[in-house]
Chains A and B, each alone.
Chain A
Amino acid sequence: MREPISFRVLRVVGLTLLTLFVLGPIYVMVSSSLKPLGDVRGKFTWIPSTITVAPFVDIWSTVPLARYFANSLVISLLATLCSVLLAISAAYAISRYRFRGRSAFRITVLSTQMFPGILFLLPLYLIFVNIGQLTGFALQGSRLALVITYLTFSLPFAIWMLVGYFDSIPRELDEAAHVDGAGPIGALVRVVLPSAAPGIAAVAIYSFMTAWGETLFASVMTNQSSRTLAIGLREYSTQTNVYWNEVMAASLVVSVPVVVGFLLLQRYLVQGLTAGAVK
């Protein structure tokens, strides 16, 4: 159908303004990461006086960025792996079986999603300290503590999305697998998982992003050796000086993996969102 001219004008103007709003900070991030330090100390300039890649080299020595990067990577990957496995198992049970306590479980898990981290940050910190005292293993401050914490952050959404995906896979496929002699786990692994692969990929990138970007718990639960990027990035500012060009370069480096992953998989995330919302 034809669109009136006023709508087209509105669309061009509106989308231009939104694009500028979105792109402004991204432009500042990219251009400043290519500036010499003098450029980011004085008045803001739109174009670097000279283009240098020195910030991308220096970020690794100004602070131990490689270690923070490795910490973030290990923690996020493990949290993602656990979260996805637990979510697959729980979502399959919810999708394929009717049992007592099924909706109570869904409500409990979903409701944990609504409360702010600050509510359980302090008690969880104390519980981890206590577990450490009881077992002799210094849980508080370890990477394992963050893995355990982060996997639960993405778990409710992951379960919710995967239930939607699993529900859309016909049960006849499971039954065909049963006829072939597969048990429930066999049917899950051989039939359901391959069909739900896009959903699992979307859940995985969501879990990874959640862990990769978390700041509040990382600020309390890490020490010098387990520090993640979220906290490490602040170390480019000292009492007297902020290496803004390096901050921008480091922000860019830590963003690229998750942004690319998200943009590649966002289609499936949308599918899962609608599948979950329609139910």
Chain B
Amino acid sequence: MATSTPPRTGRAQSSRPVRRAPRSHLAPRWLPYAMLAPALVFELLVHIVPMLTGIFISTLQLTQFYVRRWLDAPSAGAGNFEVALNFDGAIGASLLRSFAITFAFTIATLALSWALGMFAAVLLQRPFRGRNALRTLFLVPYALPVYAGVIVWKFMLGRDNGMVNALLSGLGITDGTTFWLLGDNAFVSTVVVAVWRLWPFAFLTLMAGLQSVPGEVYEAAAVDGAGMWQQFRSFTLPMLRPVNQVLLLVLFLWSFNDFNVPYILFGQSVPASADLISIHVYQASFITWNFGVGSAMSVLLLLVLLVITAVYLPLSSRRMRDA
């Protein structure tokens, strides 16, 4: 991601015999570091140091008795990891199931959000009446604070007073007595709500990407007699590849790490079918107060994310080069 851009020294500057002369008498060598320092300090304090601390905690027997003086907690060695990875035990088995559910949820959410975003971006690519109004409207679910958007869905998905059951029975599809927030239906509900929130981001990004596709490409294609679908396949998709590379990774990480949707939909009693990994670790840590095992699960989650990113980035970059 952080590509090393070539130095943008001005032309007048580079032709001078003394390298960097104009800047060195203006800006002391330490200045850029001083400008970065505040941002770096806060990132270290809130992200990096806690992450390293978390790895350390995962080797402790840390229960609620030790929270106030957690440095005194006895060591557990690899014990927490043995518990978390013992798939025959209750904790390990539920962790494994939670990972499986999270993958299923992520694939479904990512695919649907991307498809809807792409669909809308292509439909709105050319001007017509009402285009700007629709474009703005489609961004609203993403702009809403997440708890406000999701709590409306919680109300809508209620069995007796919800809009979804009223709609489905009104259309004659169901008898209107479905429990949408219990059992296996809870998985479907979680995906729908997550997609509702996330697809506008895919739309926004793809719309920005489509603006960089020059119109002449389409005109040339039309002269050659290429149909709309063919144009989409052979021009639009390939030109969006750099945007898609970043977008898919972001959508993946956001869905995989989603905490808000299940937390706001279900509160403390998350149905097994919607037990996403973030909420699983949260409950292991803060509901059962077993911080050591919770941290061990976090470390495993971190490893999974690192492996996925490490595999994805080179793979997608190579595909991009080959194209």
Contact = CB atoms under 8 A, between A and B. Distances in A.
A137 interface: no
Interface of B: 1-5, 7-8, 10, 22-23, 26-27, 29, 31-33, 35-36, 38-40, 42-43, 45-51, 53-54, 57, 67-68, 70, 116, 119-120, 123-124, 126, 128, 134, 136-149, 151-153, 155-156, 160-163, 165-166, 196, 200, 204-205, 207-209, 211-212, 218-219, 222, 227-228, 242-243, 246, 253, 256-257, 259-260, 263-264, 267, 278, 281-282, 285-286, 291, 294-295, 298, 301-302, 305, 309
B54 A209 contact: no
A214 to B, nearest CB: 8
A13 B295 CA distance: 48
A251 B156 CA distance: 14
Interface pairs A-B: 3 shortest CB-CB: A116-B257, A120-B50, A106-B2
Contacts of A151: 42
Interface string A239-279: 00000100110011011001100110010011001100111
10 contacts: A10-B123, A21-B196, A94-B32, A97-B32, A101-B33, A105-B36, A216-B260, A259-B144, A262-B143, A269-B204
A98 B9 CA distance: 9
Interface of A: 1, 3-4, 6-7, 10-11, 14-15, 18-19, 21-26, 28-29, 32, 40-46, 86-87, 89-90, 92-94, 96-99, 101-103, 105-110, 112, 114-124, 126-127, 129-130, 133, 148-149, 151-152, 155-156, 159, 167, 171-172, 175, 178, 183-184, 209, 212-213, 215-216, 219-220, 229-230, 233-234, 244, 247-248, 251-252, 254-255, 258-259, 262-263, 266, 269-270, 273-274, 277-279
Given A106-B2, A129-B68, A233-B147, A118 B161 contact: no
Nearest to A112: B47
B301 A266 contact: no
Contact of B145 (A26, A29, A107, A229): A229
Nearest to B156: A28
Contacts, number: 291
B27 A184 contact: yes
Given A15-B124, A122-B291, A230-B146, 13 more contacts: A22-B141, A28-B155, A44-B166, A89-B38, A98-B7, A114-B253, A118-B282, A119-B298, A122-B298, A148-B42, A148-B45, A183-B27, A270-B207
Contact of B2 (A110, A213, A259): A110
B245 to A, nearest CB: 9
B257 A97 contact: no
Nearest to B4: A103
Contacts of B31: 93, 97, 184
B110 to A, nearest CB: 15
A22 B259 CA distance: 22
B113 to A, nearest CB: 12
A90 B35 contact: yes
A273 B26 contact: no
A239 B53 CA distance: 38
Nearest to B309: A114
A115 B51 contact: yes
